[in-house]
Structure 1
Amino acid sequence: MKPKIFIDGEHGTTGLQIRALLAERSDLEIISIPTERRKETAARGEFLNAADVAILCLPDDAAKESVSLIANDTTKVIDASTAHRVAEGWAYGFAEMDKDQAKAIASAKRVANPGCWPQGPIATLRPLVTSGLLPADFPITVNGISGYSGGGRPMIEDYVAKGEEASEFLPYGLTLRHKHVPELRAYARLSHDPIMQPAVGNFAQGMITVVPLQLGSLDHVPTGAELHAAIADHFAAIKGGVVEVAPYAHSERMPEINPEVYNGTNRMKVYVFANDKRAQALLLAVYDNLGKGASGAAVQNMDLMLGL
C-alpha cells in the first residue's frame, strides 16, 4: 500500500513546489481536499487523520491548528512554518546538521522543516562551535541575498509586476527581529542572538548566505585551513548528505558562487575564505531557497520518515 501524503496549504509557494517535486513519484499517493471543501476545518481534520505524512505549508497559527486536529498517533507531520522550529518534541529537519540527525528525523513523528535563511549559517557555524574553534558567545552576523520567492505570494506578485523596475538589492529585517533568529541561535549552538541582515534580489529563487568572522580577539586564532578542515570533517562524517564543501582556496572572486546555480535541486555548497594575516574569514553557503531551503528539504525529510 502506498503511503498517503497530504499537503495542507498545497496552493501556496512551498506547497506548489512540493506538489511539483512529487508529481512523478509512483511510490506515493497524494491526497487533496476537494475544491468545494477546501475552507472546511472538518475536511482538513479528515485528510490530516487519513494521511501517513501531513506536510503543513501554512502560517504559524494555522499550522498549530492543523496539529491540534490530528486525533491519531499514526499521522507523521512535517511543518514548514516557524511554529515548531524550536519546540520541544519536534526534530529539526536539517538532515546534515549532525551525523545522527537523519536518524532522528527518520524516527520522529513531528519534524520542523528548517527556514531557508538559517540553514547556510548553521551548516558553517555549528561545526566550528562544536569543535571549539569558535566559542558559543562569539558575536555573529549573517548577511546574504535570496530570490523574491522567499517572500511568498505577495512579494512574488510585486516583483513580477515591476519586472526590471524591481529592486536589485532590497535589504530587510531592519528591525533586527528576523523570525529565523531563534532557530539559528539554537542549532548553531550560539549563546546569544546573532544579527541577521538579509536582502532580496530581483531573481525568483536561489540564495547565498555569508557569515563574516573577526577572529583576532580569540585566545587561539584559527587559520582558514583549520576552519575549513572542521567543516569538511563534519560533512564527511555524514553518509548520504547533500551538502558539499568546496576545496579551500584563495580567490578574489569565483563565478560559480551564484545564488541561482543550484536552483531546482536539493544541494548546498559551502565555502571558506580567509585572510590569516588579518585574522578574518568568510563562511559562504549557496543553495536554492525553495529547494534545500524549503520544499526540497520537506521531501528529503518525508523520505527519511517513510524509510524510502
Structure 2
Amino acid sequence: MWTINRFPAIWLIPALLPVVLMTLYPVGYALWTSLHEVMILFPGEPFVGLENYRRVVASNYFQDALRNSLVFTALAAPSVVVIGTLIALFLQHGFFGSQVVRSVVLLPWVLPGAISAVLWVWVFHPSFGMLNGVLRSLGLIDAPIHWLTNPDTALTVVAIAHVWTQIPFAVVLMMAALSTINSETLEAASIDCPNPFKRFRYVIVPEIKSMIVVLLVYNALTAFTSYDLVYAMTGGGPGTATTLLSFQIWRESFSMYDFGAGSAVAFIVVVISAVLIVAITRALPSDLFASE
C-alpha cells in the first residue's frame, strides 16, 4: 500500500513547489517563447526554432552587451567581496559608536535602485557633481569630467554605484561568518602570530572561505543580471558603452515589442550565468566545503 512513509521525499514538495513556480517555470516559459515569434503588434505565435537566437547573436549590439556584462561582473563581484570583508573585519572590533556605524553601513542596502542611481548621478554630474567639485577644489582638474557620458568611464562609474549598493549584504554575511570563529583560536593566533596580515591569511581566511565563495558566486550573478542602475543612470549609453545583456532584454521586449528575441537574450543570460557558477566553483580548491 502506498504511504507517505514509503516515500519520505514527498515531504520536500512544499519546499520545492515555490522553487518550481518561481524559477523553473519562468525559465521554461522563456525557453518556449524564445523558440516562437512573439510580437505584441502581430497576432499568432509561430514556431521559428533558433531564428530568434540567430538574430540576437548576429545583431550589432550583442557582442558589446556581452563584453560589457562580463567586464561589469569582473569589476563588481570581487570588489564587493573584498570591500565587504574589510568592512566586516573593521566592524568586528568594538569601538565607540560601532552600532551607529553598522546601521549606516546598511543604508545602501535598503535604498531602492532608482534612488541609489539618483544619488550617484549627483556625485558624477559634470556641472554640479560632488566628485568634480572635490577634484577642482584640490586643483587636480581644470575642466569638468563627463563621467557618465564618456564611453571610457561610464561602465566603471555604474560598476562603482553597483558595488556601493551590494556591499551591505556582503558585510552582514561576512560578520556572521566571523562571529562563528572560536574566540580562543583568535586569541591564540594573536599571541603566536603578531603580524595581522599573516593572521588573516592563515587563521581567519580558512574559517570564512566558504562564505567568501558564496558571496563571490552571488555577486557575480547579481552583477551579470544587473538592470535598474544601468537603466536609471545611463539608459545603456553613451552608445552601447553601458548596455548590458539584462538591459537588452528590456529593450527587445518592451521597446521593440519583440518578446521572442527578448526571451532569447534572457535564456542566453541563464546559460551564461550557469556557466559562471560552474567556472567559479571549479576554479576553487576541491576541499573548500569539506568539514574541518
TM-score, normalised to structure 2, is 0.21
- Structure showing the higher helix proportion among its residues: 2
For CA contacts below 8 A with separation 6 or more, give which structure has more relative contact order. 2
- Structure showing the higher strand proportion among its residues: 1
Q: Larger Rg: 1 or 2?
A: 2
TM-score, normalised to structure 1, is 0.21
